[in-house]
Chain A
Amino acid sequence: MTNRLAHVAIVGTLVIMLYPLVWMVMTAFKSTAEIAQNVSLLPTEPTLDNFVQGWDGAGVESFGTYLRNSTVIALLAVAGNVISCSLAAYAFARLSFRGRAVCFTLTIGMLLLPKDVLLIPQYSIFHAFGWVDSPLPLIVPYFLAMDAFFVFLNVQFLRGLPRELDEAAAVDGCGAFRRYWYITLPLIKPALATTAIFTFIWTWNDYLPQLIYLNSAEKYTLPVGLRMFLDATAGSDLGPMTAMSVVSLLPLFLLFMFFQRRLVQGIATTGLK
């Protein structure tokens, strides 16, 4: 009996939780007239008009531009994090050197450091580099292991693996870099995959940095481009706005479909200890 009660509670909560997403998708397929009437959740005559109209964007650029910019930035961020975080993690987990404890403590500190504190000075530094209104400030930090979370994740994963392989290779005279490349990297593929997927999702959703660093419309990413639907009109553009919201969330939803187990496990393992 309690079992059935639990089921009811679970399904009930799910209906409420998923309702905003369902509503977003359904609205995207409704005609303007139907949105105004606001009677049923399901569109009576599904139409693609909103997608056609929304794709042209609220500004001068089409949504395709934003989609391309977001994809380029997210993929480069993934490459950066996978390389730089695994390098740092290997040093922390497998090599002994003076200052290791201090360096690792600094990494944990970065995990807790609120990013907003660095917003103004980083902007001022990138401004001095002449990088404002380019995607560089949104990409380069990923190649410098600035996502301490993923350094930590890879260290945790490496600590769970036996050291024997690494030590045997060292005895055989294999250098540190070759051990990293030929022994460690293949072993930590699961952690690297988690790093890659989360980096993609978080970069895709990242808003404030993209808002301050990208000034011209042809460089805008999805979050910045989507926001223009709010600027352009006072709510009357609901159809195209929800249609493009659906488009922008679709890649994340697909990642979720394919990698849900890994995503859930990734969060769980770093959350512990």
Chain B
Amino acid sequence: MIKRDLAAYAFLIPWAVGLLLLVVAPLGWSLYLSFTDYDLLSSPQWIGFGNYRELFTDDDRFLHSVLITGGYVLVAVPLQLGAALAAALLLARERRGQGVYRSLFYLPSLLAASVAVSITWRAMFDYGGPVNGVLGWFGVSERSWINDPGTVIWTIIALEIWRFGAPMVIFLAGLKQIPGELYEAAALDGAGRLRKFVSVTVPMLSPIVFFNLLLGIIGAFQTFAPAQLVGDGNGGPADSTLFYALNLYQQGFDHQRMGYASAMAWLMLVALAAVAAFLFRSSRRWVHYGDNT
């Protein structure tokens, strides 16, 4: 028994070292740091709830970054998943060239996280960029979409939607798993296309919607590269691209306020845990776990 266990633990040595050194210890260390003033060079100074108090009562930029990020998640994630589902439905049926189409739809999601795409995005929506060129045909006057606090966030949302290929592929795999008999039975009962979609496809796909939603929210909440590179780099113009992760980065690495940034990190963890708990709880009502998963 012990020998058996030891053999297994040997395989888990790297994993366990990583877990302790790079996850558990850092989590504890950052919780401690969140109650201190810490600039990395001198040792942390205990200040109790000082950082948290400042965040909630004396830091408008923090509250602003929460609202920006929260709003972004609420808009971008559903739009991206909607696009992914629509594309999956379009590509689900076997047709000529469907494999090529699937791959090409998927391609942007492989590249979208890169700095190359973010800086290209910025150029595309700037003066003289192709977006203005195309809109010009429809009589829209030229403007810099990235220097306008009202529009820059939408260019970043467009970038998030653009990478719908990854959830699309997961939806496609899910669609394939739905047994054909269900559709046949529905057809026998006189169900039309819309009815089949609402009563068969949606419930059968709900576990995958749940999975994509959860990962989508966690990922979108941490948006950094587009925030820094499509925006002006400091959260501008007029703090309109001050995403939570960018704010955290600036506090920690531009202002060397590591304790303050740790408090922000922990608040983010708590917020995301609450969102995940809410999703899991609500999933009992809307996620259908059939026998054919």
A residues contacting B by CB (< 8 A) are 3, 6-7, 9-10, 13-14, 17-21, 23-24, 27, 35-36, 38, 41, 83-84, 87-88, 90-91, 95-98, 100, 103, 106-107, 110, 112-125, 127, 141, 143-146, 151, 175-177, 180, 201-202, 204-208, 212, 222-224, 226-227, 229-230, 235, 238, 241-242, 244-246, 248-249, 252-253, 256, 260-261, 263-264, 267-269, 271-273
Contact = CB atoms under 8 A, between A and B. Distances in A.
A19 B129 CA distance: 12
Contacts of A223: 114-116, 225
A182 to B, nearest CB: 15
B14 A273 contact: no
A20 B115 contact: no
Main SS at interface, chain B:
helix
Interface string B181-203: 00000000000000000000000
A253 B108 CA distance: 10
Majority SS of interface residues in chain A? helix
Contacts of B23: 110, 113, 118, 146
A271 B170 contact: yes
Interface string B99-121: 10111111110110111110111
Interface string B210-224: 011010001001101
Given A36-B128, A146-B18, A260 B11 contact: no
Q: Which of A14, A27, A97, A242 has the most CB of B within 10 A?
A: A97
7 contacts: A18-B107, A18-B108, A112-B276, A116-B224, A121-B30, A223-B116, A267-B166
A120 B262 contact: yes
B229 interface: yes
B27 interface: yes
Interface in B231-250: 233, 245, 248-249
Interface stretch (B47-55, B58-66, B70-78, B266-274): B266-274
Contacts of A114: 218, 221-222, 268-269, 272
A273 B229 CA distance: 35
Contacts of B252: 119-120, 123
Contacts of B116: 24, 222-223, 226, 244-246, 248-249
Contacts of A208: 224-225, 245, 249
Given A226-B115, A229-B119, A118 B22 contact: yes
B265 A120 contact: yes
A13 B8 CA distance: 50
Given A119-B249, A230-B229, 9 more contacts: A6-B95, A35-B128, A36-B128, A106-B19, A118-B27, A208-B249, A245-B116, A267-B106, A268-B169
Contacts of A95: 4, 7-8, 11
B30 A120 contact: yes
A3 B96 CA distance: 11
B258 A256 contact: no
B122 to A, nearest CB: 7
B135 interface: no
A141 B5 contact: no
Interface residues of B, number: 90
Interface string B249-291: 1001100001001100110110010001000000000000000
B70 to A, nearest CB: 14
B91 interface: yes
B79 interface: no
Contact of B26 (A24, A118, A263): A118
Nearest to A244: B116
A159 B66 CA distance: 41
Given A120-B262, A121-B30, A256 B14 contact: no
B236 to A, nearest CB: 13
A144 B17 contact: yes
A87 B90 contact: no
